[in-house]
Amino acid sequence: MKGVRAFVGKYLAIAVINFQSSTAYSGEVVMRSIMITVILYVLVHLWKAAYGASGSTVIAGLTIRDTLWYLVLTETLILSKSAFSTRISDEVRDGSLAYTILRPYNYIVYHMSYSLGDSLVKLVMNFAAGGLVVLILEGPPEHFTLSSLPFLIVSILLALVLDFCFEGLIGLCAFVLEDVSSLQLIYNKILFILGGMLIPIDFFPRWLAALSKALPFNLILYGPATIFVKGDIGAAAGVLVMQSLWILVMAGILFALYSRTMKYLSINGG
């Protein structure tokens, strides 16, 4: 029991200290959330024009208000998610890996806690700022139900963990390649399209929608955003199950690769 407490305490302490660190300057915290208000302001006008041109109030089962709240969620997630791969590659490049890898914890779990501490602050700030824009310009979400809230929160956390696994796989390449910005760029573009960040997957042509739903990337953005705008508990439970399964698979690959790539590690500087 004591062992478990020490184990949890360790990773919790890491999340807490990074939470403290990223809220060290209150001004900066506020400035960071301005980005999302600009993006959503533009998106509101863009989608108003799109819905106006189509002449219908509902496209693929989503009203304009649904679509905009969907985008609040996906933008919040994409702006709050961890940049784990960038951090690993920075650590390899500046040599600070010598410290972070040398402590009695699991390096991957350490970084996951580290990321969560930072992401949770950003999630709250970005959602508040982005939500405010849509609330003022369009009104509150229509189909959101309070009973789906626990599902939503869990699915957001699982989305962050699943994204973290992909970021981690890219990051491990930094042990060998040093610079992984190109891989990260590709991954981000995949999230933009196949993850459903820019356009809800329901709007895609049938073949592309099928492809997107077969791949795990939709579970990072489209999954939680759909729970939020549709409030369908049955569908929400399905999302959680799929997220958990994919996390098991991807985390398995990540941990297995981590212990192998350690052998190729070389650290710069000093």
Q: Which residues bind other proteins (CB under 8 A)?
A: 6, 9-10, 12-14, 17, 20-21, 24-25, 94-99, 101-105, 262-263, 265-267, 269-270
Q: Which long-range contacts link 200-204 to residues 24+ away (Cβ below 8 Å)?
A: 200/60, 200/62, 200/67, 200/70, 200/225, 200/226, 202/60, 202/61, 202/62, 203/59, 203/60, 203/62
Q: Please report how close the Cβ of residue 132 comes to other proteins at its closest, in angstroms.
A: 28
Q: What is the 3-state secondary structure (H, E, C) of 80-114?
A: HCCCHHHHHHHHHHHCCHHHHCCCCCCHHHHHHHH
Q: Please report how close the Cβ of residue 52 comes to other proteins at its closest, in angstroms.
A: 47
13 vs 30, beta carbon nearer other proteins: 13
- The answer to whether the CB of 225 falls within 8 A of the CB of 198 is no
Type of residue found at 2: K
Q: Residue 62 pairs with which residues in a beta bridge?
A: 59
Q: Please report how close the Cβ of residue 31 comes to other proteins at its closest, in angstroms.
A: 16
Q: Is 41 left (phi over 0), alpha (psi -120 to 50) or beta?
A: alpha
Q: Please report how close the Cβ of residue 179 comes to other proteins at its closest, in angstroms.
A: 12
Q: Please report how close the Cβ of residue 87 comes to other proteins at its closest, in angstroms.
A: 14
Q: Please report how close the Cβ of residue 263 comes to other proteins at its closest, in angstroms.
A: 5
6 vs 146, beta carbon nearer other proteins: 6
20 vs 54, beta carbon nearer other proteins: 20
189 vs 260, beta carbon nearer other proteins: 260
Q: Which helix (DSSP H) or strand (DSSP E) does residue 62 occupy?
A: strand 62-63
Q: Which helix (DSSP H) or strand (DSSP E) does residue 58 occupy?
A: strand 58-59
- The answer to whether the CB of 97 falls within 8 A of the CB of 262 is no
Determine the Cα–Cα distance for residues 55 and 163; give it in Å rounded to an integer.
Answer: 37
- Residue matched to tokens 């969907």: 70
31 vs 98, beta carbon nearer other proteins: 98
Determine the Cα–Cα distance for residues 73 and 14; give it in Å rounded to an integer.
Answer: 26
Q: Please report how close the Cβ of residue 7 comes to other proteins at its closest, in angstroms.
A: 8
99 vs 207, beta carbon nearer other proteins: 99
13 vs 60, beta carbon nearer other proteins: 13
